[in-house]
């Protein structure tokens, strides 16, 4: 039961992340053509729902490989997005991170209240954090996301050189194993989902293109010219795939090269 709860809530974290992006785009006047849950794979069947009575709403697509989510603007919306100032684009890119943090805090609050049946000091602290993040959402997206992202990337590089990779990084297989070990009941499932939601927030703050933090940094790099922006995008894409290989490598090491 705990594992089922964890899976459902993690899918909720993915939906919240992309839903937050979609909400921010809508607030900034960027039209959307599609919102998808799952990783699109060519020639693999999927379910697409169109809202004919509400033509302004984007189509919703559900893919069978439920690893990730995305939002896709229309051609007009994409052009509009490119013309927006840094403050608005940073909010659009950072709102997914903010959504995961708020979602994780909300899960911790519900877990604490459900386990105690009362509102204690920890619950009030979590509620205060929830309020502060939402109250300062624009400052968080425009200033904190780039700063924390750079610091996070520096910390990740440091751990790569000074700590064993398997101790700090897990891939999909390692995540499933952690879920099996942690989500043994409903409370464990909720806690694990909260941790995954926070992890998604931290991961997406990294200034690595095409992650959210990378897209925010990409807007800043545009001020140094198209050449610098292209170099940043290519380097970010290489680093992004290196991170994926690094995570799968950690799984491989644990499975086939046990201590």
Q: Which two tokens stand for residue 136?
A: 């300062």
Phi, psi of 82 (to 5 degrees): -65, -25
Task: Kindly state the percentage of the chain with pLDDT values over 70.
Answer: 90
Helix (H, G, I), strand (E, B) or coil at 66: coil
Query: Could you state, in order of their start, the residue ranges of all structural domains in the chain?
Result: 2-17+84-107+136-256, 29-83
Which residue, among 196, 91, 213, has the nearest Cα to 151 in the 3D structure?
213
Q: How far is CA 58 from CA 12, 76, 89, in A?
A: 19, 13, 20
**Where residue 37 falls among pLDDT bands split at 50, 70, 90?**
confident
Burial-class residue 181 by CB neighbours within 10 Å (0-12, 13-18, 19+): exposed
Distance CA 52, CA 50 (A): 6
pLDDT tens digit sequence for 187-220: 889 999 999 999 999 999 999 988 999 999 999 9
**Where residue 259 falls among pLDDT bands split at 50, 70, 90?**
low
pLDDT over threshold 60, residue 167: no
pLDDT tens digit sequence for 69-103: 888 899 999 999 989 999 999 999 999 999 999 99
Taking each helix axis from N to C end, the angle separating 86-116 and 186-205, rounded to the nearest 10 degrees, works out to: 160
Q: Which two tokens stand for residue 219?
A: 């807007």
Contact call for residues 219 and 39 (beta carbons, < 8 A): no
pLDDT at residue 116, as a whole number: 76
Average pLDDT, the chain: 86
SS3 content of the chain, % helix, strand, coil (to 5): 70, 5, 20
Which residue, among 194, 173, 172, has the nearest Cα to 183 in the 3D structure?
194
pTM (two decimals): 0.89
């Amino acid at each position: 039961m705990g594992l089922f709860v964890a899976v459902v809530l993690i899918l909720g974290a993915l939906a919240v992340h992309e839903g937050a992006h979609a909400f921010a785009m809508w607030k900034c006047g960027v039209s959307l053509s599609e919102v998808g849950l799952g990783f699109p794979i060519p020639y693999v069947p999927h379910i697409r729902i169109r809202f004919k009575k509400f033509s302004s709403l984007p189509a919703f697509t559900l893919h069978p490989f439920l690893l990730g989510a995305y939002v896709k603007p229309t051609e007009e919306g994409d052009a509009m997005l490119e013309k927006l100032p840094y403050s608005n684009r940073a909010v659009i890119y950072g709102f997914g991170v903010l959504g995961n943090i708020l979602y994780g805090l909300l899960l911790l609050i519900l877990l604490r209240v459900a386990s105690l049946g009362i509102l204690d000091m920890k619950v009030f602290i979590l509620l205060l954090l929830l309020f502060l993040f939402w109250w300062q959402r624009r400052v968080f997206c425009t200033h904190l996301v780039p700063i924390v992202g750079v610091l996070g990337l520096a910390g990740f590089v440091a751990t790569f050189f000074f700590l064993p990779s398997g101790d700090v990084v897990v891939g999909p297989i390692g995540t499933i194993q952690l879920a099996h070990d942690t989500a043994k009941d409903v409370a464990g499932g909720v806690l694990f989902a909260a941790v995954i939601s926070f992890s998604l927030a931290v991961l997406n703050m990294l200034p690595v293109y095409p992650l959210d933090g990378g897209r925010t940094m990409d807007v800043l790099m545009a001020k140094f010219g198209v050449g610098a922006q292209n170099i940043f995008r290519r380097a970010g894409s290489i680093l992004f795939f290196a991170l994926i290989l690094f995570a799968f490598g950690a799984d491989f090491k644990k499975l086939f090269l046990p201590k």
